[in-house]
Structure 1
Amino acid sequence: MLPDAVPDREPETWPGSSEVVVPGSGSSGSSESGLDPAYEYVARLAVIDAQAAEDALAPSTREAYRRAWEVFEGWAANNSLMALPATASTVRAFVAHLRDRPVPASLPTINQHLSAIWARHADLGLPSARQDGQLRLRLQGYARQDQERLVRQMSALMVRDVQRIVSVMDEDLQQARRELDDERAVRKTQLLCARDKGVILVGLATAMRRSELARLEVADLREDVEGLVITPRWTKRDQAGTERNPRAVPRGAARATCPVSAVQHWLSLAGIDAGPLFRPVTRWGTVGPRGFTPQVIRTIVQQRAEAAGLPGTWGAHSLRAGFATQSAKNGVARHVIMADGDWRSAAVDRYMRRGALWDGAAAKSLGL
């Protein structure tokens, strides 16, 4: 008997990317593109679909996912576990592996690895453990661990602390102008002071996360009568940039600590009119063309706070902690602090309690 004939491909579907013949490729057929008209239409849709899949992730994100997937795949192979498709228990074990380090992986790092795993499964059309309830519970537990450690370790950068930091930076700049003969060295000090002021003052005024602050661009800024409107194109909770929630940055009461003046001075001094807002400064006193990584924000805050002689443990999160703590101390309502600082959990309550610690303290009435 003759074998059954292979049915024609349904017009509602298309082949894999390796089988798609792009219209206009010169293949023979009844149409100018060399394809049957019905199949040509389907092939054109396949090209559009493939391009959308390619554009779904930024090149840097795609590269980060590639590296993260290689880490997971290598770990699974070393432990005789299946990476594709990965079971929920395998993924939970991998997350525990990331935490089982001298310095446990942070929740953002874990989420990046998980996103890479989910993306790999989605690309291949395989089921994933993304909706696993036990995994979500584990992530909540890790988040609480990180938050407790962060609040306990990071000091809040208050307004008085920022005033001290700015004052020391101004003194350092004046000293450099008096003592340094090399114009490039003076220029470097001037640029670093201007940039770091902008980073610290804008970071405190907006409560942006370090990843959001590092990605700001000049196009995200709009000057207003009352100050500066910053509309980040990317936030931790809106990576697609669909919400575009603006942040109001009012002019400061003192010019020395005014975030609006600090940004304007940095842009003018650095000659920046487009592209990344905050950038590296080279040892030759020039400004780099690209933005810097979020880790630089941590270094800036840490080094400037230590140079000012401030006791405590400092990092990029000190800016967000300072925003919430100072706002609570000044009597700002909880829901306003949460909205302006993009908090969606009760973690902000810890900062509010810290801010109100000295308000109405009974010990003040003792007369000591």
Structure 2
Amino acid sequence: MSELDRYLQAATRDNTRRSYRAAIEHFEVQWGGFLPATADSVARYLVAYAGELSINTLKLRLSALAQWHNSQGFADPTKAPVVRQVFKGIRAVHPVREKQAEPLQLQHLERVIAWLDGEAAAARGDERQADLLRALRDRALILLGFWRGFRSDELCRLQIEHVQASAGSGISLYVPRSKSDRDNLGRTFHTPALQRLCPVQAYIEWINAAALVRGPVFRGIDRWGHLSEQGLHANSVIPLLRQALERAGIAAEHYTSHSLRRGFATWAHRSGWDLKSLMSYVGWKDMKSAMRYLEVNPFMGMARIDEKPVRQ
């Protein structure tokens, strides 16, 4: 691979590149389309899968087709009026309510952390190193994910060299790239130490127990307690979280890795954080992104209206 190709490849995220490749293959192989495509063929492609694929999947397919045509120097057929109108019509005929992860409530966070503390204590007493490491790793991951509002990819990209933790004070974490960091500028996040459910102490205990000095913060652990050299994959965060919740007796089927981010946003909003401060802390660029994560009681204002006036 030439240096030019290497930098061009680095400009597109691995997940996006895989998704685009699969979308192009679907258009050509499964549907039987030809590239470069015409606006009419793209419109017919959308119609063929309108009732089968979700709106978000169709948007991804259009983005992949647009990227292919632009990179190959062809006119982008996805911008044609007929394609836009067909897509608008599909939205109207097949409206779908957006699915959102269940926010992890503070009481459930307390419950699962207490359970993991119990698992760690029992494993330490029985000298079960693998179980001890898993409990400490899961506790640190869940607490950092919640209090910092991290996405799963951000948690899995954390490197020990980019983390500075001080017990009783706070922690700073540099994330070189993330989903919202389109220009790959990187960002440093800060989180204070807490009296309870402390992400700083959980991180320090995990790093010390695992004897880690460099590389990924969160890694796989085999049955003998050996740590992987590679970091966890973002897709492994959901089963990790669900398994921890289920062991703590919490029904976990509606929880995803976004539950940590939504849980923190909901807690912060109900605790009186103003939206500007919350957006800055979590890293949201616009109001629409923030409101998608907030779990707001729609009847809160009605309750105030229903209050009886105070007699003078």
SS of 2:134's equivalent in the other structure is helix
CA offset digits 1:315-338 (Å, max 9, x no partner): 211111111110011111012122
Q: Give the structure-1-normalised TM-score.
A: 0.67
Give the C-alpha shift of residue 248 in structure 1.
1.5
Aligned ranges 1:272-351 → 2 under 5 Å:
272-311=212-251, 313-343=254-284, 344-346=286-288, 348-349=290-291, 351=294
Q: Could you say which structure has the greater relative contact order, defined with CA pairs below 8 angstroms and 6 or more residues apart?
A: 2
Per-residue Cα deviation, 1:189-242 (whole angstroms, up to 9, x for no partner): 111111111111111111121222222222332346841112211111214422
Greater share of strand residues, 1 or 2?
A: 2
Alignment of 1:74-93 (within 5 A): 74-85=26-37, 87=39, 90=42, 93=45
Q: Is the 8 A contact 1:76 1:83 kept in 2?
A: yes
Distance in 2 between the 1:91 and 1:199 partners?
Answer: 44
2:122 corresponding residue in structure 1: 175
Task: Point out where structure 2 has 5 or more consecutive residues left out of the alignment.
Answer: none
Code of the residue aligned with 1:232 in structure 2: it is V
The secondary structure found in structure 1 opposite 2:141 is helix
Which AA in structure 2 matches 1:274? R
Contact 1:229–1:246 (CA under 8 A) maintained in structure 2:
yes
The alpha-carbon deviation at position 283 of structure 1 amounts to 1.5
Could you tell which deviates more after superposition, 323-332 or 206-215?
206-215
Superposed CA RMSD in Å reads 4.0
CA-CA distance at 1:89 after TM superposition: 5.7
Aligned equivalent of 1:57: 9
Secondary structure, counterpart of 2:220 in structure 1: coil
Cα distance change, pair 240–247 in 1 and its aligned pair in 2 (3 A) = same
* Bigger Rg, structure 1 or 2: 1
| Cα distance change of structure 1 residues 87 and 130 upon mapping to structure 2, 3 Å threshold | closer
Residues 1:216 and 2:158 are matched in the alignment: yes
- Counterpart Cα distance in 1 of 2:50 and 2:208: 44
What is the aligned partner in structure 2 of residue 156 from structure 1? 103
Report what 1:241 is aligned to: 184
Question: Is residue 73 of structure 2 the alignment partner of residue 73 of structure 1?
Answer: no
Provide the residue aligned with 2:296 in structure 1.
Answer: 353
Could you tell me how far 1:119 is from its partner in structure 2? Answer: 4.3
Residues 123-134 of structure 1 mapped to structure 2, 5 A cutoff: 123-129=71-77, 134=84
**Shift of residue 135, structure 1, vs aligned partner:** 8.6
Question: C-alpha separation between the residues in 1 aligned to 2:179 and 2:72?
Answer: 26
> How far apart are residue 302 of structure 1 and its match?
1.4
Q: How many residues align?
A: 299
TM-score, scaled to structure 2? 0.78
**8 Å contact 1:194–1:266 — kept in the other structure?**
yes
Give the alignment of 1:187-266 within 5 angstroms: 187-223=129-165, 226-242=169-185, 244-254=186-196, 257-266=197-206
Shift of 1:305: 1.7
Name the SS of the counterpart of 2:225 in structure 1: coil
- Is residue 147–residue 347 contact of structure 1 (8 Å, CA) maintained in 2? no
Distance 1:340 1:95, change over 3 A: farther
